[in-house]
Amino acid sequence: MEVFHGEGAELLVRAVLTLETPEECRAFLEDLMTGKEIQDCSQRILVARMLQEKQVYNAISAATGASTATISRVNRCCAYGTGGYRLVLDRLENDGTQEVTA
């Protein structure tokens, strides 16, 4: 299913690509999303990283607070999705910026 179609989706992708610093990214995301949406997305990327590290669901749930349904959904994306999680996690690991400071 193609979710990135239409003018708004194209504008969103282009907008993200213009961001140059962590501060710019934080400012944009805070304006774009609710606090809950940011927390949910943050949790999902943590879950994906822990899955990539071969951690078990119980450990992931305990560390992130994610439900097993969320972990399962992220795992499906990691295994059968478009490769987005793998791409960004590999890039973060390779460029040494996986640990971003506040």
Between CA 31 and CA 25 the distance in angstroms is 10
Q: What is the pLDDT of residue 98?
A: 53
**Residue 79 carries which side chain, given as an amino acid letter?**
A
Q: Residue 45 phi/psi, 5° resolution? A: -70, -35
Between CA 25 and CA 23 the distance in angstroms is 5
Q: What is the pLDDT of residue 76?
A: 97
Average pLDDT in the chain: 92
Predicted model pTM = 0.86
Instruction: Read off the pLDDT of each residue in 40-61 and give the average, rounded to a whole number.
Output: 98
Domains of the chain in start order, with CATH, are: 1-32 (no CATH), 35-95 (1.10.1270.10)
Q: Residue 96 phi/psi, 5° resolution? A: 75, 15
pLDDT band at 5 (very low <50, low <70, confident <90, very high): confident
pLDDT band at 102 (very low <50, low <70, confident <90, very high): very low
Query: Which tokens hold the place of 23?
Result: 């501060």
